[in-house]
Amino acid sequence: MVIAHHLLWRTISRSFQLPSPSPTKRNPGSLSDVNKREVPKTSENFRKVIRHLKNKRITIQLDDESRMAVEEKANQANISISAYVRRCIDQSLKSPEEPPKNSGQIPADILTEELRIKNEQIDKLQQALDQQQQLHAICQNTVEAQRLQLEEAKRPQPLLARLKAVFAPE
């Protein structure tokens, strides 16, 4: 742990030109001496440097296609995906592009065309509904006429009317 701490400190101190921590005497037979290393001023500087490192997180969700494209670009650059995304963000912040106009909004001519199409669809549906209602009314009239004929046919007729129907067809 101490070796990793020392290597990390060496890397950071080179980047920020900080004084290196003073070496400590180590007793190879005792681990307790290694953990009791005292570098008060350096530790304080170390904490300050760590705060300035990139330690904030942003989580984004991508579809599979975008994720694969980012991963491919990172592989081409021989860097991790995080480093590639960081590089893209840094470049974007250094030379920001003009934001797209009507960001997130659909242009009015497209909306007007869609509204026209929807109105045509509504008109066609209204015509189909009118036609269906007319057919239903005709069917109802036909059913009613057939019901009346059936009732009339079931009604008992007098003997004279039956003889007339047999000998004198209409």
Distance CA(71)–CA(82), nearest Å, equals 9
pLDDT in tens, 25-55: 444 444 444 444 444 455 666 666 655 666 7
**How many residues belong to the chain?**
170
Distance CA(52)–CA(43), nearest Å, equals 15
The residues of the chain scoring below 50 in pLDDT are 18-40
Distance CA(111)–CA(119), nearest Å, equals 12
In the block, which residue shows the tokens 């004279």?
Answer: 160
**pTM across the whole model:** 0.32
Crossing angle (nearest 10°) for helices 2-16 and 40-52: 70
pLDDT given at position 39? 42
Distance CA(43)–CA(24), nearest Å, equals 14
pLDDT given at position 166? 77
Distance CA(134)–CA(140), nearest Å, equals 10
Q: What percent of the chain has pLDDT over 90?
A: 30
